[in-house]
Amino acid sequence: MALEDASKEVDNAVIRGPYRGLSYENTFGGATSFMRRAYSKDLTGVDLAVTGVPFDQAVTNRPGARLGPRAIREASALQAFDPPYGWGFDPLSDFTIVDYGDVAFDYANVPAFPEVLTNHIKGILDAGAASLTLGGDHYISFPILRAYAEKYGPICLLQFDAHSDTWADDDMSRVDHGTMFYKAVKSGLIDPAHSVQVGIRTVNEDTLGVPTIDAREVHEKGPQAAVAKIKQVLGDRPVYVTFDIDALDPAFAPGTGTPVWGGLTSAQAAIMLRDLAGINMVGGDVVEVSPPFDTTGATAIAGAHVATELMCLYLWNKR
């Protein structure tokens, strides 16, 4: 980083032009966007639109994930100076990535929220971009998957999580962050046989046919073996990647609603996300970052790194 660049740049989130390139403004100053990308509602020519969903009214334990998108954006400023490590290309300079801002919704009208979010994501997909969503609790993946399934048909789901989130619930109107993938499978949005859950360490007898790589398997056989198994299941089919931050052990991500010990390390997650390069990823999200339960900011930092890896994973095939 050139010091003279740092002294001249500020508020790239609102004045950046052109959209491509690294950012050298002071980490601790300026208007915050994801990776200092420009805020824009114009998706013309955009490859990837990062959007926030500050919603946490589906939680079963601790709230606060509504503050996740803002915290992840702030934490991502630490990474905006250099190309993402370990990928061998610079997506920030080679592709047009914008921060599309947050979905607008009436917080007091929860029943209306799912359709609002589905339409928000459909707007991104209809413009020819893909979405990278910053949550928010994990329920948000269900309305998002509706938009993706409308475009791609039943989609493969790659889910990093401590929980399967396939607990039975046939009331499609219920807003619950533990049952949405049950609903997604039952609604025909997900192809369960070609989906994978990684990091699971809670009991659910019925995963609806979704193959599982639990946290112990990752610890014992290693992340590379997990990646090989994931790629075999996914093949070249379109896949949506969802990363619940509680996939990580609470030692690495304490700021989340339903923490469970024995989880993935940040190093294991980094290896898996990078070695997954080449899968046919069409969109993704990182969810359940709850800043009030982590005064260190480590969970938001982890969320920002996961989002960055998902950005690279999506753009890898488009180099």
| Among the listed residues 46, 41, 8, the one whose alpha carbon sits nearest the alpha carbon of residue 24 | 8
pLDDT number for residue 4: 52
Determine what percent of the chain is predicted with pLDDT higher than 90.
94
3-316: CATH number:
3.40.800.10
pLDDT number for residue 7: 74
CA 198 to mean position of chain CA atoms:
14
104 token code pair? 């607008």
318 token code pair? 């488009």
pLDDT number for residue 18: 83
Q: Strand 130-135 and strand 48-53: pairing?
A: parallel
Q: Where are the domains of the chain?
A: 3-316
Binding residues: 138, 161, 163, 165, 244, 246
Inter-residue contact 75 to 289 (CB < 8 Å): no
| Among the listed residues 315, 318, 312, the one whose alpha carbon sits nearest the alpha carbon of residue 82 | 312
pLDDT number for residue 291: 98
Q: What is the pLDDT along the chain (319 residues), one digit of tens a residue?
A: 455 577 788 999 999 878 999 999 999 999 999 999 999 999 999 999 999 999 999 999 999 999 999 999 999 999 999 999 999 999 999 999 999 999 999 999 999 999 999 999 999 999 999 999 999 999 999 999 999 999 999 999 999 999 999 999 999 999 999 999 999 999 999 999 999 999 999 999 888 999 999 999 999 999 999 999 999 999 999 999 999 999 999 999 999 999 999 999 999 999 999 999 999 999 999 999 999 999 999 999 999 999 999 999 999 999 9
pLDDT number for residue 1: 47
Residue with tokens 């989002």: 307
| Among the listed residues 240, 241, 136, 142, the one whose alpha carbon sits nearest the alpha carbon of residue 184 | 142
The model's pLDDT over 67-126, given as tens digits with 9 standing for 90+, comes to: 999 999 999 999 999 999 999 999 999 999 999 999 999 999 999 999 999 999 999 999
Binding residues for Mn(2+): 138, 161, 163, 165, 244, 246
pLDDT number for residue 9: 87
DSSP string, 46-114: -SEEEEEE---TT-SS---GGGHHHHHHHHHGGGTTSPPTTSSS-HHHHS-EEEEEEPP--TT-GGGHH
CA distance 168 to 162: 17
pLDDT number for residue 29: 92
Residue with tokens 């639109």: 49
pLDDT number for residue 2: 53
Alpha-helical runs (H) found in the chain = 3-8, 12-15, 68-76, 91-94, 113-126, 141-152, 180-186, 215-221, 223-234, 266-275, 298-316
Q: How far apart, in Å, are the Cα atoms of 40 and each of 43, 100, 211?
A: 7, 5, 38
